[in-house]
A and B are shown apart, each in its own frame.
Chain A
Amino acid sequence: MNIWLLVWRNSFRKKIRFALTCVSIMVAFFLFTALAGINHALTASVSSINQYRLMTSHKISITRSLPINYQQKIAALPGIERVSYASWFGGFFQNEKNQLAVTAVEHTSYFDLFDEYKIPKQQLAQWKKTRTGIIVGQSLANKYGWQVGDKVPLSSSIWMNRSGSFSWEFVVSAIYQSNKQGGDKKIFFQHAYFDKGRAYARNSLSWLSTKIAPNADVEQAIKSIDSLFTHSNSPTRTTTEQVFVQEQAQQFVDMAMVINVVVIAVFFTLLLIVCNTMIQTIRERLNESAMMKALGFSSSSLITAIYLESLLLLGIGAVLGTLLASILLGFIKQSLADFLPGIYISPQHYITVFALVNIAAAFCSFFPALKIKSIVVSEALGGQS
């Protein structure tokens, strides 16, 4: 017999209450961990972006196009190293259910700027020579069984070509890989083919990507690009790529905010529930505590026991909840790779969980501690109870 055994036995005294409390703790920590994983995805996708790439789009909306000659105008500015551009194709394969991220890119420059796509040199050279060539991500190639040389028709939900059809002919020229998880599901093709081929809105682009010189001032570069077009028909808005992606991800961030608030509320409720459980627990055992005091146990040793009991309760719930969330995230990571790459639970998160459990245990043993301290043994045991 030792104090640990007593703590252990006491914990499981009211099995149903223990189980219910444990489940509520589990839910709270499940939410907490799941959110942390998703949060990481949101912030990671944002922070892995190159600071020194600028995105320029129409001031009013990304859906409006810009004149194609903006490329030269921006390239002529001081402190600018390279400018490329791209347009959104809005493609799908065979039917609209197979939506694909298809982008028309300025083929001579685009992959100099975006070196995160790993394309075999030969294939890239071949693509540059092939007007209708596409570069497809490895996992797309795997999914549809595409190989270099295959003819692939892709349809656009936006762009009609000159023959009046929404179906465009392509040939697979290259397959790329990405070191970013879920980053290998895009398709690129030559902007020149797109621009000549489309039935309307020729000589326009969706956005420009600018690489500035390493020693150039980012703010300055942004200002000089936008002021160039302030009084034109198509004014621009330039941001660092980070901000650009962040704005795209704002809806996720908003969502995360809402979940954050919910998690805080859940945690608060949880604290009250566990606190209440511990207070109830100590009330039921007043006589036992008084007896232990009579035997010579100090208030602090009884308080330690109740702290350990809270810790055990919270610990079991937290471990189960965190484990469950980790396993679940492991599963959905794959299926969410397109939508939200980079779901990951950092080791720090587990340290946070550990700290939270300890803090909560301390909080929840506070009121029981006061109660224990205030027990007058002679009054508690003197009666006939």
Chain B
Amino acid sequence: MQNNNEIILKAINKSYQKGDNTVVVHDNFNLTIKSGEFVALMGPSGLGKSTLLHLMGGLDQPTQGEVWIGGQRIDNLTQKQLTQWRAQSIGFVFQSHHLLPVLSAQGNVELPLALTPLNRKQRKEHASMALQLVSMSERADHYPKELSGGQEQRVAIARAIVSDPQILLCDEPTGNLDRKTADEILALLAKLNSELGKTIVMVTHDNKAAEYATRVINLESYILSQNKAQAEAQNNKMNKAEVSLGSNL
């Protein structure tokens, strides 16, 4: 059942134009995440972690470079195509749950299914299953304001997985939670990764995340080593060129 959910960021450049200045967030950035990985993306604020997540999820487009998800290139899709693609391919979990206050937990989880051809009964069943997966069945009829922060985040996770996307992108999902609740959420994500095979990329400041993830990327050192490797490769080329130049002389 393992599909190809590989995430490939190829020679990404992402920059913003601020008046006359160009702010470069990423330059010639490369990253590959294999199907079934649970990656914890760590590092100081402002380094561009969220930006990477948005690029992977088609919420943002690179200035240059290519984004490949499951063998499909998505950086050149139109907004409309991206929207449709997102609905079936990606589940998002943000630091803030962004649940709709007017809908119950059940209603919120059912929301993405309104975009699918499922009928009313099937939508209900799928949503119930998702709520069960996050251990929130008992609270299905509760409204967001009647839930605790951890419970809200569980419902948000149920909403992210209800249409069965193979990739979950989480931006500091435990950022607003206390230690105990954060652990529960991390365990839940690990379960979704190990039992359902979801590929998960999670941006986090939580050092304990390393205990749950299958790979930890410290963005700062990752970028440094990448730059070093590139510089070396560049040097090697130059050296070779010099050598060949010298031999020719």
- Establish whether residues A295 and B102, one from each chain, have CB atoms under 8 Å apart when the complex forms: no
Q: A378: shortest Cβ distance to chain B, in Å?
A: 4
Interface size class of A (residues with CB under 8 A): 20 to 34
Q: Does A13 contact B (CB under 8 A)?
A: yes
Stretch of A1-9, A110-118, A273-281 lying at the B interface:
A1-9
- Establish whether residues A377 and B96, one from each chain, have CB atoms under 8 Å apart when the complex forms: no
- Establish whether residues B103 and A6, one from each chain, have CB atoms under 8 Å apart when the complex forms: yes
- Establish whether residues B96 and A295, one from each chain, have CB atoms under 8 Å apart when the complex forms: no
- Establish whether residues A10 and B102, one from each chain, have CB atoms under 8 Å apart when the complex forms: yes
- Establish whether residues A291 and B98, one from each chain, have CB atoms under 8 Å apart when the complex forms: yes
List residues of B (25-75) whose CB comes within 8 Å of A's CBs.
50-51, 54, 57, 59-60
- Establish whether residues B100 and A288, one from each chain, have CB atoms under 8 Å apart when the complex forms: yes
Q: Does A192 contact B (CB under 8 A)?
A: no
Tell me the complex Cα distance, A308–B54, Å.
31
Tell me the complex Cα distance, A227–B88, Å.
88
- Establish whether residues A1 and B114, one from each chain, have CB atoms under 8 Å apart when the complex forms: yes
- Establish whether residues B115 and A378, one from each chain, have CB atoms under 8 Å apart when the complex forms: no
Q: B52: shortest Cβ distance to chain A, in Å?
A: 11
Q: Does A382 contact B (CB under 8 A)?
A: yes
Choice from B80, B107, B111 contacting A298 with Cβ under 8 Å:
B80
Tell me the complex Cα distance, A1–B143, Å.
13
Q: Does A80 contact B (CB under 8 A)?
A: no
Interface majority SS (helix, strand, loop, mixed), chain A? helix
Tell me the complex Cα distance, A293–B87, Å.
9
A9-B111 CB under 8 A given contacts A295-B87, A378-B54, A378-B59: no
Q: Does B154 contact A (CB under 8 A)?
A: no
Q: Does A296 contact B (CB under 8 A)?
A: yes
Q: Count of chain B residues with Cβ under 8 Å from any Cβ of A?
A: 37
Residues from chain B with Cβ under 8 Å of A5 in the complex: 103, 107
Choice from B94, B106, B111 contacting A381 with Cβ under 8 Å:
B94
Residues from chain A with Cβ under 8 Å of B83 in the complex: 293, 296-298
Q: Does A292 contact B (CB under 8 A)?
A: yes
Interface residues as binary, A363-385 with B (CB distance below 8 Å gives 1, 0 otherwise): 00000000000001110011011
Choice from B59, B84, B106, B171 contacting A1 with Cβ under 8 Å:
B106
Residues from chain B with Cβ under 8 Å of A10 in the complex: 102
Choice from B60, B87, B96, B100 contacting A378 with Cβ under 8 Å:
B60
- Establish whether residues A295 and B112, one from each chain, have CB atoms under 8 Å apart when the complex forms: yes
Residues from chain B with Cβ under 8 Å of A297 in the complex: 83, 87, 115
Q: Does B215 contact A (CB under 8 A)?
A: no
- Establish whether residues A9 and B103, one from each chain, have CB atoms under 8 Å apart when the complex forms: yes
Interface residues as binary, A280-293 with B (CB distance below 8 Å gives 1, 0 otherwise): 00000001101111
Choice from B59, B96, B102 contacting A384 with Cβ under 8 Å:
B96
Q: Does A359 contact B (CB under 8 A)?
A: no
Q: Does B123 contact A (CB under 8 A)?
A: yes
Q: Does B198 contact A (CB under 8 A)?
A: no
Residues from chain A with Cβ under 8 Å of B127 in the complex: 1
Residues from chain B with Cβ under 8 Å of A13 in the complex: 101-102
Choice from B88, B96, B110, B175 contacting A296 with Cβ under 8 Å:
B88
Interface residues as binary, B87-122 with A (CB distance below 8 Å gives 1, 0 otherwise): 110001011101011110011101111110000100
Q: Does A294 contact B (CB under 8 A)?
A: yes
Q: A110: shortest Cβ distance to chain B, in Å?
A: 71
Residues from chain A with Cβ under 8 Å of B95 in the complex: 384
Q: A24: shortest Cβ distance to chain B, in Å?
A: 24
Residues from chain B with Cβ under 8 Å of A298 in the complex: 80, 83-84
A1-B112 CB under 8 A given contacts A296-B83, A378-B60: no
Residues from chain A with Cβ under 8 Å of B54 in the complex: 377-378, 382
- Establish whether residues B123 and A1, one from each chain, have CB atoms under 8 Å apart when the complex forms: yes
Q: A289: shortest Cβ distance to chain B, in Å?
A: 10
- Establish whether residues A288 and B59, one from each chain, have CB atoms under 8 Å apart when the complex forms: no
- Establish whether residues B100 and A6, one from each chain, have CB atoms under 8 Å apart when the complex forms: yes
Residues from chain B with Cβ under 8 Å of A385 in the complex: 96
A-B CB contact pairs (8 Å), 14 listed: A1-B127, A6-B103, A6-B111, A10-B102, A287-B98, A292-B111, A294-B59, A295-B87, A295-B112, A378-B54, A381-B94, A381-B96, A381-B98, A382-B171
- When A and B form their complex, which 7 residue pairs have the shortest distance between CB atoms, in order from nearest? A296-B87, A9-B102, A1-B110, A291-B98, A378-B54, A1-B107, A378-B60
